[in-house]
Amino acid sequence: MTIELNSPCKVNLLLNILGRRADGFHELETVIQPLPLHDGLRFQRGGSGIALTCSEPALPVDGSNLVHRAASAFREAARVRDGVRIRLDKRLPMAAGLGGGSANAAVTLLGLNQLFGHPLSGVQLNDLAATLGSDVPFFLQRGPALGTGRGERIQPLEPFESLRGCAVLLVRPRFGISTPWAYGQLAEHPESLKGRPGRATDLIQRLRSGGLSATGSAFFNSFEAPVFHKYPVLAVLKEALLEHGAAAALMSGSGSTTFALAGSLASAESLREMVLARLGATNWTAIAVL
């Protein structure tokens, strides 16, 4: 039996850091929107242990790969002795703030659970996912969600009426950003460490009740100040997107991808042309229609 699954990505419509915790993680509230842009994952039984292959030569396929770690955690928790063969077709950029690697880990848990006849319950999968990374539990489900705690406590939300039919332009510059590095920068930007609680509820209410014009300033990311300090080109990009008519523009997660919300595919296409003309064609871009 072969199981093939899509592994999606996300943008954070809001990421509000509330403070640093005693365990070194940061307490936060985040509103996460999944996007229909995918890596591919294929699972088969066979061989011994975990044999992972990947289309992207730069990505290690050993125990440092999140897919490998997820498969290993699954086999141990489900007491599976049979070997597994996993193929990862990497199409999404890495170190991008899009959660691609976290989604790969979550989809590996779901794929292997299916392959071995569902030995683990939803709660067990969720617990395993949280040990693999703060963003992993979100990808066990498919819709938008509110994330709290260190981001791993997921409350599914109805799709947002205001975003229906919107086009999301993603721009990932030539450089990536490491999440631990971005969290490390917060210490030097104390104002970014102590976000006002309640911003998430505010954005969710606006996204439910009105058109996009009512929401603009409610999109917020605590990482923008420290990351823009080091990479001013990201601030320039955001400003350019807003000046050229984006309904909202925000860095996703800890960067480096910035996304723009546009009312239609045509407006997103013209924003993309503007970005490529200004910043150069080596940036990775994509458009997803919600």
**Could you give the residue numbers annotated as active site?**
10, 135
Asked if 244 touches ligand C5P (CB under 6 A), the answer is: no
- Residues 144, 157: Cα–Cα separation, whole Å: 5
Find the shortest distance in angstroms from Cβ 254 to ligand C5P: 8
Asked if 134 touches ligand C5P (CB under 6 A), the answer is: yes
Decide: helix, strand or coil at residue 256: coil
Which H or E element spans position 203?
helix 199-209
Pick between residue 23 and residue 158 the one whose CB is nearest to ligand C5P: 23
Asked if 117 touches ligand C5P (CB under 6 A), the answer is: no
Asked if 177 touches ligand C5P (CB under 6 A), the answer is: no
Pick between residue 134 and residue 252 the one whose CB is nearest to ligand C5P: 134
**What are φ and ψ of residue 89, in 5° steps?**
-100, 105
- Residues 71, 117: Cα–Cα separation, whole Å: 15
Which of 95, 55, 94, 50 is closest to 73 using CA atoms?
A: 50
Q: Strand locations in 102-247, DSSP E? A: 145-148, 153-156, 167-172, 220-221
**Residue range at the interface with ligand C5P (CB under 6 A); choices 127-135, 166-174, 204-212, 219-227:** 127-135
Which H or E element spans position 242?
helix 232-243
Asked if 180 touches ligand C5P (CB under 6 A), the answer is: yes
Pick between residue 65 and residue 283 the one whose CB is nearest to ligand C5P: 65
Pick between residue 147 and residue 160 the one whose CB is nearest to ligand C5P: 147
Among 87, 150, 229, 244, binds ligand C5P (CB under 6 A): 150
DSSP state of 137: G
Q: Are 111 and 26 in contact (CB under 8 A)?
A: no
Helix-strand-coil percent breakdown of the chain, rounded to 5?
Answer: 40, 30, 35
Among 3, 25, 216, 231, binds ligand C5P (CB under 6 A): 25
Asked if 153 touches ligand C5P (CB under 6 A), the answer is: no
- Residues 88, 173: Cα–Cα separation, whole Å: 23
Asked if 252 touches ligand C5P (CB under 6 A), the answer is: no
Among 26, 75, 90, 199, binds ligand C5P (CB under 6 A): 26
**Beta 50-54 vs 84-89: how paired, if at all?**
parallel
Find the shortest distance in angstroms from Cβ 132 to ligand C5P: 8
Return the structure tokens found at 78: 């489900």
Pick between residue 25 and residue 231 the one whose CB is nearest to ligand C5P: 25
**Chain positions contacting ligand C5P, by CB under 6 A:** 25-26, 28, 133-135, 150-151, 179-180, 183
